[in-house]
Amino acid sequence: MKFCSQCGSTLKTLVPPGDNRERFVCEACDMIHYQNPRIVTGCLPVWEDRVLLCLRAIAPRKGYWTLPAGFLENGESIAEGAARETLEEANARVSNLELYTVFSLPHISQAYMFYRADLADLDFSSGTESLDVRLFHQDEIPWDELAFPVITQSLEFFFEDRVSGEFPVRSRELHFRRRNRG
């Protein structure tokens, strides 16, 4: 950030009084600009014994398979965002959403929340962010072509839990080192 969204003046980085970490602060009006983690929400859509995956049409990880998911929008609940993302990416409607996996990724300041959900019907297709959308049996999952570790982990939990029929909410913290780009 370089400029204040309130008055347009230049920002400086400092620890404001009463705070414990650096923030962007306006040099003119003293407005503090907080930057907080982003929430990613999505669904693990199920039809009978198969799960719905989308082949990404956008970066990052274009050409890799994922669960339909994306950033939560202002003014919507996490479940509403998960259903919206599923509709946007797979043109699929879901019901019976139940929170299933929660991942904290502090290295990229993101939190992921996936809901187990029932596909309402088999009327789905690629959205603008997907090259392909398909239902997969467990033995058909393209494990080496999954886009992100949170997708792999959510699917592993699902197939493990499906054996017992018990689907507890799973929560994990994932830590990765940032790549040195120099």
pLDDT (average), residues 74-79 = 97
Q: Which CATH number fits domain 38-172: 3.30.70.20, 3.90.79.10, 3.40.1410.10, 3.30.365.10?
A: 3.90.79.10
How many Å apart are CA 149 and CA 125, to the nearest integer?
24
Q: What is the mean pLDDT of the chain?
A: 94
Q: What does R_g of the chain's alpha carbons equal in angstroms?
A: 19
113-127 tens-digit pLDDT:
999 999 999 999 998
17-27 tens-digit pLDDT:
888 989 999 99
Domain 1-35 has CATH 2.20.70.10: yes
> What is the predicted pLDDT for the residue at 179?
52
Q: Which pTM was predicted?
A: 0.86
What the block records as the tokens of 100 is 């299933």
Domain residue spans of the chain: 1-35, 38-172
What the block records as the tokens of 43 is 């669904």
Say if residue 43 is exposed, middle or buried (CB neighbours under 10 Å; 0-12, 13-18, 19+). buried
How many Å apart are CA 101 and CA 170, to the nearest integer?
5
